[in-house]
Structure 1
Amino acid sequence: MFEFITNNEDRGQVGIGTLIVFIAMVLVAAIAAGVLINTAGFLQSQAEATGQESTDLVSERIDVTSSVGIVGNASAGELSEIRIGVSGAPGADQIDLSETTIQAVGPNGQANLVFTDVEADGTTDLSDSSSVTDIAQGEFAVQNSTGAYVSENDAVLNDEESYTIVVNPGAEPFGDLEDVSAYSSGPIYDDAGNSSFSQGQSSSLELVSPSSATTQVELTAPDLFQTDDEAVRL
């Protein structure tokens, strides 16, 4: 009924076969474990990166504390400056305003504004003697709490300093002055009949930080300006 293997050579062959199968199973298990470990590590790294990006989109955001316009020519109903107070959102790290972009839509189209610390001539640094009319089209400048224009290296939001973004209301998309530096004491109509951002007009801004976090701002000028150089809430 039972067959006994009495040949020593047969016994050895059976043992070697079992050992080979066992080793093969161990190798397969080891390879599978390695693949799982590598996959788990990759997924963990990807999850951490995605989580950090999601956190940055929420925390590394620019908060707008105020939006003010300075009346340049009340009789013409035009602004000479648009000033936007900014700070870092609660919990945000330092935010480099020189790497920030402003996507603006206004009465005269749309434009992407980038940081500048030089005047429209492209060679002269913005200084205490510079005016908003020295800011070229498609650009914005930054002032510190003392009203001085800051350089690229200093335009960083932190807990120690507040900043103001300044844009030229005569430049597109806010105004449509062909020469945005054509006036010196407040916007006026140029020879072509173009003007700067005026009373009753509105504009939409989107501040995009270096981490791609966005902040939307709606600017709406009052329907009537009273006096030159007055500050009006936008």
Structure 2
Amino acid sequence: MFETNNDDDRGQVGIGTLIVFIAMVLVAAIAAGVLINTAGMLQSQAEATGEESTDLVSERIDTTSTVGIVESESEGTLEEIRVGITAAPGADDIALGDTVVQVVGPNGQANLVYDDEATDITDLDDGFVAEDDDGEFVDASSAVLDDNNDFTLVFNPGAEPFGTSTEPFGEGDESALDIVSPSSATTQVTLTAPDLFTEDGEAVRL
């Protein structure tokens, strides 16, 4: 008895194997594409996260001094609260007009923003302003911290949350400030007034 080979059967097996092989190649190609896209997306996210983390460290505002100007020694009140600031080492230009100061004081909590309309300390009801080395208020467009410019932030101790017009921030009072730069880098400052003032117009360390 003789065996016969069926060429049609062998052809069908060969075509089936080829189809399976092509399918495997297509699946592998799709999987590779997905992996490449995922890797690219993860790289972009990592770069963005790295930049944000760098900004949170470098785009920070440093404080150089915290001072209060005594309004009335007999009543124990302050006329001004002054916080000297400078850009942290390596920071790019920091726009104070886009900076927020979060304050927790004796009269509650508030987010203070730059008051570009203020011409006098009494104008600062719910904001702050920057003062240059000449003692002049600076408009928001010019209030930019960089390697050449430092400023003093000025606050009204008679405005909430520091105090009120009848009971300004003064002897023994304390406030906590978070100075938040445009990149969301935060600098924490605690202001503590001395328990006793000795002279009208004197500068006391807070």
TM-score band (shorter)? over 0.9
Q: Which amino acid aligns with 2:159?
A: A
Describe the SS at the equivalent of 1:154: coil
Question: TM-score, normalised to structure 1's length?
Answer: 0.82
Q: Tell me the residue number matched to 2:82.
A: 83
CA distance in 1, matches of 2:203, 2:17: 91
2:138 aligns to what?
150
Inter-CA distance 5–173: structure 2 relative to 1 (3 Å threshold): farther
Ranges in structure 2 where 5+ consecutive residues have no aligned partner = none
What residue is the counterpart of 1:217 in the other structure?
189
1:176 lines up with 2:175 in the alignment:
no
Identity in percent: 64
Aligned partners of 1:4 and 1:156: how far apart in 2?
A: 95
Q: How many residues align?
A: 205
Aligned to 1:180: none
What is the distance in 1 between the residues matched to 2:34 and 2:44?
15
Aligned to 2:56: 57
**1:1-234 to 2 correspondences below 5 Å:** 6-119=5-118, 126=119, 131-135=120-124, 137-177=125-165, 194-234=166-206
CA distance in 1, matches of 2:66, 2:39: 48
Aligned-partner residue type, residue 106 of structure 1: G
Q: CA deviation at 1:13?
A: 2.5
Quote the offset at 1:152 in angstroms.
1.5
| Alpha-carbon separation, structure 2, partners of 1:173 and 1:5 | 101
Deviation at 1:161, TM superposition (A): 0.5
Does the 8 Å CA contact 1:199/1:224 hold for their aligned counterparts? yes
**Distance across 2 between alignment mates of 1:61 and 1:5:** 86
Pick closer, same or farther for the CA change 1:175–1:19 going to 2, 3 Å. same
Distance, in Å, in 2 between the alignment partners of 1:149 and 1:5 is 105
TM-score, length basis structure 2: 0.93
Do the aligned residues in 2 keep the contact of 1:97 with 1:115 (CA within 8 Å)?
Answer: yes
The 8 Å contact of residues 145 and 161 in structure 1, kept in 2 or not, is answered as no
Deviation at 1:114, TM superposition (A): 0.7
User: Aligned with 2:71: secondary structure?
Assistant: strand
Distance between the aligned counterparts of 1:70 and 1:226, measured in 2? 12
For residue 51 of structure 1, what is the amino acid of its counterpart?
G
How far residue 229 of structure 1 moved from its aligned partner, in angstroms, is: 1.2
Counterpart of 1:190?
none
Do the aligned residues in 2 keep the contact of 1:5 with 1:11 (CA within 8 Å)?
no
C-alpha distance 39-4 of structure 1, shift in aligned 2 (>3 A): farther
Aligned-pair CA distance for 1:169: 0.7
